[in-house]
Amino acid sequence: MSETSPTGSAETPGTPDFDEMTRDIAEVPAVEVIVTVAVNLMSAAAVKLGLTEEGDKYKDLDEARKLIHALAGLLDGSATEISSFHAAPLRDGLKSLQLAFREASLVPDEPGQGPGEKYTGPIYG
């Protein structure tokens, strides 16, 4: 049985109201969206590096590489859009992930070739 939302659109229970979601996201500042995405990428990369309580259960360095690279690209691309108040801890987190990746790799990448180093420059550890 479907219900009618306040916007007049029919929806079934458990189905997201996309009009409401659009209004909600429209009220969020761009900096907050960028930071939220960055934190999600950092969290996912930490899991794929085996840095959580579960340890190696979800470890996948290929996936971690992709997430770290995406995080570095996001931070590089948004550097002029977010303040250093937001950017500094994100850059620190990125560097920690890059170092953890280097440490976890059986055959470490050459300096400058690791995940995200295209954007950050070589990471030594």
Which spans in 12-60 are helix H? 18-26, 30-48
**pTM, 2 dp:** 0.81
Phi, psi (5° rounding) for residue 11? -145, 150
Write the pLDDT tens digit of every residue in 13-68: 677 788 887 878 889 999 999 999 999 999 999 999 999 998 899 999 999 999 99
CB 95 within 8 A of CB 45: no
